[in-house]
Amino acid sequence: MGLEGKNVIVTGGVFGIGSVIVDSFVKAGAHVIIADLEKTAGIKYAKKLRGAVEFFRVDLGKEAGIKAFIRSAVSRHKKIDILINNAGIGGWQNIEKRRTSEWQRIIAVNLTGPYLCVKYALPYMPEGSVIINISSTRALMSEKNTEPYSASKGGLLALTHALAVSLSENKIRVNAISPGWIDTSAFGKKGHAAQVKLKKSDLLQHPAGRVGTPSDVSEACLFLADNERAGFITGQNLVIDGGMTKKMIYS
Ligand SMILES: NC(=O)c1ccc[n+]([C@@H]2O[C@H](COP(=O)([O-])OP(=O)(O)OC[C@H]3O[C@@H](n4cnc5c(N)ncnc54)[C@H](O)[C@@H]3O)[C@@H](O)[C@H]2O)c1
């Protein structure tokens, strides 16, 4: 897939799934703009990828930061062809104990952040541009004590189909990907699923016989970003979970 001349924003592109999405789009010839909180690692990573990647330190939970980031990115590059809203945070806590500020922060980063990235990037997105929102299978099913994460990811799926309809006038396609268990342990302590030693039962409980890898997600991003192959797909949610959400688990 030739993405030469295309500018791609990947939020949360320094660690985990986001960093593999960045690598895949760079390999496909794109210029990638990372928006992430992690300054030191972000600058180091951009240096390693020599000019193909630019790093902006942005807190995606803050509107002013997002607005300033898009302004600087387009002052250099004039257009954004692909926006991948990948950054996300979680946190397990009992509803009675969880501070309201924590609920608000998770909703701000995971749901309001993607909305604002679209709002401010839209004037610079030409016809044929593509938006991909990284949701989660937790938008569809839950463990205990995950209310803000699940609600934010469910909201992101609804935001995806709302935008797909609104932006059809701009000829922009908008889709979501919902990963299940993706092993990001190769990316150090900072990844939210990091440092888990996988047991055989972790793998075998999946109908696919394994947990996911970040490249399972990045390959789907490349597909959805391609107007030739995925031009008739918009407003959809692609679940990448090794079959877990299709498995009946009544005992
Ligand atoms: N790993 C999984 O199993 C899994 C499963 C389902 C969905 N997801 C989703 O995939 C996406 C990536 O997950 P991951 O496992 O790679 O996460 P991760 O924690 O490894 O990486 C997240 C990245 O986002 C950045 N980030 C966090 N908060 C930010 C903020 N306020 N502003 C800017 N950047 C910020 C981090 O610095 C990091 O680079 C997330 O949206 C997550 O919810 C992950």
> What ranges do the domains of the chain cover?
7-246
The predicted pLDDT at position 1 comes to 63
Q: What is 7-246's CATH superfamily?
A: NAD(P)-binding Rossmann-like Domain (3.40.50.720)
What would the pLDDT profile of 58-89 be if each residue is shown by its tens digit? 999 999 999 999 999 999 999 999 999 999 99
* Residue 188, pLDDT above cutoff 70: no
Q: Is 180 helix (H, G, I), strand (E, B) or coil?
A: coil
pTM of the model as a whole:
0.97
The predicted pLDDT at position 190 comes to 54
- Rounded to whole angstroms, the Cα distance separating 42 from 104 reads 26
Active site residue 250: no
62 contacts 113 by C-beta, under 8 angstroms = no
The predicted pLDDT at position 49 comes to 82
pLDDT bucket at 195, cuts 50 / 70 / 90: low
The rounded Å distance from CA 250 to ligand 1 centre is 31
- Rounded to whole angstroms, the Cα distance separating 159 from 171 reads 17
Of all protein residues, the one whose alpha carbon is nearest to atom 43 of ligand 1 is 88
- Rounded to whole angstroms, the Cα distance separating 235 from 176 reads 7
Q: Helix 63-77 vs helix 113-121: angle between axes, to the nearest 10 degrees? A: 30
Q: Which residues does ligand 1 sit against, CB inside 6 Å?
A: 12, 14-18, 36-38, 58-61, 86-89, 109, 134, 136, 179, 181-182, 184, 187, 191-193
Q: Which of 45, 120, 124, 149 is catalytic?
A: 149
The rounded Å distance from CA 223 to ligand 1 centre is 21
